[in-house]
Amino acid sequence: MTNQTVNGDSQPGRGSLDRLAEKELEALRRKGLERRTRRVEGRAGPRLRVDGREVLMLAGSNYLDLAGDERVLAAARAAVDEYGGAAGGSRLINGNLALHEELEAELARFAGHRAALLFSTGYMANLGVLATLAGPDDAIVSDSLNHASIVDACRLSRAQTRVFRHNDPRDLERVASGLAGFRRRILVTDGVYSMDGDVARLAELVPVARAHDMIVVLDDAHGLGALGPSGRGTAELEGVEVDVAVGNLGKALGSFGAYVACSETVRSWLINAARSFIFTCGLAPAAAGAARAALQIASAEPQRRKTLHERAEQLRAGLRDAGFDTGASTTHIVPAIVGDNARVMALCEAALERGIYAQGIRFPSVPRGTERIRFTPTSAHKADEIAFAVRTFAELRSP
């Protein structure tokens, strides 16, 4: 075998695969849909370096500014000192750390459930939950704007999936009324919709589900820590109880991973049936330690939530005054709807040059014609920083 065959593009299949990849990439470029990563430097906070430029960070999910909090980092270091850098295996073999169980107990209490189970990511949590609860004889009813992880989980479950109009209790009633004959019926919805910043109307949706004997699953990735009188999320805000709540540790709690809050019996079922739990390594000790500290801080310092929503409302009102459509947003996720992929990305890049990073979101991530800049302020942003962002986007919008 020649060196060219070993090291060059003459390896079997490599050239043809690269040509195929380039063809697909070129098709994305022509549509204005090619994505690329951005290089981020610095400790998480309201300002970071993005692609070599210091910017006001309005494109993250570090809502309560805990990802760089020294107490959170100290807890992560302490966990590494005690347990090492990794769990070292799956939870069902050797990776079930005492730290995992301690965090799960604290998350369950915080979420108002009897038990909780950690997953590596929110995506894996949704896959595990829905593929466990549902199968070919079951029906899942999903909001039309649910997150991609829910869409994929519905597909993986092999259940019959029915979609109802976004946040529409009457349409949920219509869909639920046609589910006679299925073994199980499941309603799944986001708590806060990640592209629009509106809140699921759980106070109206859950009673419809209960009337039709449906299991209620809530993905509250963006609500945990940020919404509700105690920060427990969308269900607390709406005054309802759900059967299963999926929460994310990598957003308001400034760490990494996810959990499912449920009953002790459902937790045991997931341990035995959720493939995305069984066949993966346990959460890294640093992430678990950080999440424990962040959960305590979020509970003890409600001012963070208050400031977060003050900054979000300042941003939303300012953008509206500048002529932007902010849609149905009522939370810390604030869209500025522009329409057209090219226009929205040009606006994103122009703002980045002026020192503001707020990501452009294109079709097909959002419906065609609703392409937008997606702003996500944090509790650490100051009022004058938000005012600067509004002023900048107002100037960029002007002819």
The rounded distance, in Å, linking the Cα atoms of 287 and 81 is 13
Catalytic residue among 142, 194, 276, 379: 194
Integer angstrom CA distances of residue 2 from 13, 16, 197: 16, 19, 57
Integer angstrom CA distances of residue 24 from 12, 21, 27, 30: 20, 5, 5, 10
251 is catalytic: yes
Integer angstrom CA distances of residue 6 from 1, 17, 18, 119: 7, 16, 16, 39
> How many residues does the structure list for the chain?
399
Catalytic residue among 166, 212, 222, 332: 222
DSSP tag of 371? -
194 is catalytic: yes
Integer angstrom CA distances of residue 378 from 72, 76, 194, 226, 361: 17, 22, 15, 10, 19
Residues 375 and 357 sit within 8 Å (Cβ to Cβ): no
142 is catalytic: no
Beta bridge partners of 57: 357
Catalytic residue among 100, 147, 166, 251: 251
- Which residues are catalytically annotated? 194, 222, 251
